[in-house]
């Protein structure tokens, strides 16, 4: 309230936040939380800051779930199984669990630090939605239990897609503060997407869909990789700025 005297503790906290911001730390880490679709997510340097374009990825994923449902998939008596590979703060997995009542969501990450942040965010989801989510640690598909082979209806991923040589060209706020393992995929930038695509057929149920965030300049290469991995219906949808951003590949 504006006519209240600021306490010494509040003043110290605000000063330290200002100092961190002046040192170049992203405002989302300084605040410690950030809005993503319907959620207010805890974020710190253990995880990528969730981006507006990833909100569009979730929108496309939810539309794919509706598309599958309209085609009778999965068959009656079974809830759709959704997997978020590389969940970070949990942005994608937790949004789907919050916005879809009847889904089983598996969220993976190779970073135990990231999974700790995602688990903290799960606690803020409410018991009903939180009961739909499970976290598993490991390398892409290898994190999942074998019984999910052939049973995944929708896989969503925002994998690292920056090429090693591009890191230095990113804004300092990104390159110096966000986890390198969340940004950089390898020499070409397509290594993580390829790992997700190549193993997908073994895990996806018949008729299932893959939705992945890509960099706009990767659209042609990503579509070619999806076709090479055996997907039939392959397209790229734009983000809110009209950039080619979301790979959709249907089995």
To ligand SAM, the closest distance from the beta carbon of 34 in angstroms equals 10
Distance (Å, rounded) from C-alpha 159 to C-alpha 222? 12
**Given the complex with ligand SAM, which of 49 and 249 has the nearer CB atom?**
49
Looking at the Cβ atoms of 26 and 160, the one nearer to ligand SAM is 160
Told to check if 121 binds ligand SAM by CB under 6 A, we report: no
Give the Cβ contact number of residue 63 at 10 Å.
14
Q: Which of residues 216-245 bind ligand SAM (CB under 6 A)?
A: none
Q: Does 159 engage in binding with ligand SAM (CB under 6 A)?
A: yes
User: Under rule CB under 6 A, which residues in 38-57 are in contact with ligand SAM?
Assistant: 48, 50, 54
Work out whether 28 is an interface residue with ligand SAM (CB under 6 A).
no
Stretch that binds ligand SAM, among 13-21, 98-106, 110-118, 204-212 (CB under 6 A): 110-118
Contacts of ligand SAM in 8-27 (CB under 6 A) = none
Site residues for ligand SAM, 70-109, by CB under 6 A, read: 86-89, 91-92, 108-109
| Residues 139 to 158 in contact with ligand SAM, rule: CB under 6 A | 139-140, 158
Q: Which CB, 18 or 27, lies closer to ligand SAM? A: 27
Comparing CB distances to ligand SAM, the nearer of 51 and 227 is 51
**Contacts to ligand SAM by CB under 6 A:** 48, 50, 54, 86-89, 91-92, 108-111, 114, 139-140, 158-160, 181-182, 192
């Amino acid at each position: 309230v504006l006519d209240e005297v600021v306490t010494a503790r509040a003043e110290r906290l605000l000063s330290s936040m200002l100092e961190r911001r002046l040192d170049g730390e992203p405002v989302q880490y300084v605040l410690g939380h950030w809005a993503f679709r319907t959620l207010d997510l805890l974020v710190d340097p253990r995880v990528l800051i969730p981006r507006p374009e990833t909100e569009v990825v979730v929108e496309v994923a939810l539309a794919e779930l509706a598309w599958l449902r309209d085609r009778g998939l999965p068959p009656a008596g079974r809830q759709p199984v959704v997997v978020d590979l590389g969940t970070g703060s949990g942005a994608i997995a937790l949004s789907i669990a919050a916005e879809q009542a009847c889904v089983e969501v598996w969220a993976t990450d190779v970073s135990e630090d990231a999974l700790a942040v995602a688990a903290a965010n799960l606690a803020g989801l409410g018991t009903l939605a939180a009961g739909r989510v499970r976290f598993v640690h490991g390398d892409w598909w290898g994190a999942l239990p074998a019984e999910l082979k052939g049973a995944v209806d929708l896989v969503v991923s925002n994998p690292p897609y920056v090429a090693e040589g591009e890191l230095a060209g990113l804004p300092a706020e990104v390159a110096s503060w966000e986890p390198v393992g969340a940004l950089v995929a390898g020499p070409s930038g397509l290594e993580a997407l390829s790992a997700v695509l190549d193993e997908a057929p073994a895990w996806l149920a018949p008729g299932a869909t893959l939705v992945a965030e890509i960099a706009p300049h990767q659209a042609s290469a990503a579509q070619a990789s999806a076709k090479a991995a055996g997907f039939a219906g392959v397209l790229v949808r734009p983000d809110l700025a009209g950039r080619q951003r979301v790979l959709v590949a249907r089995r």
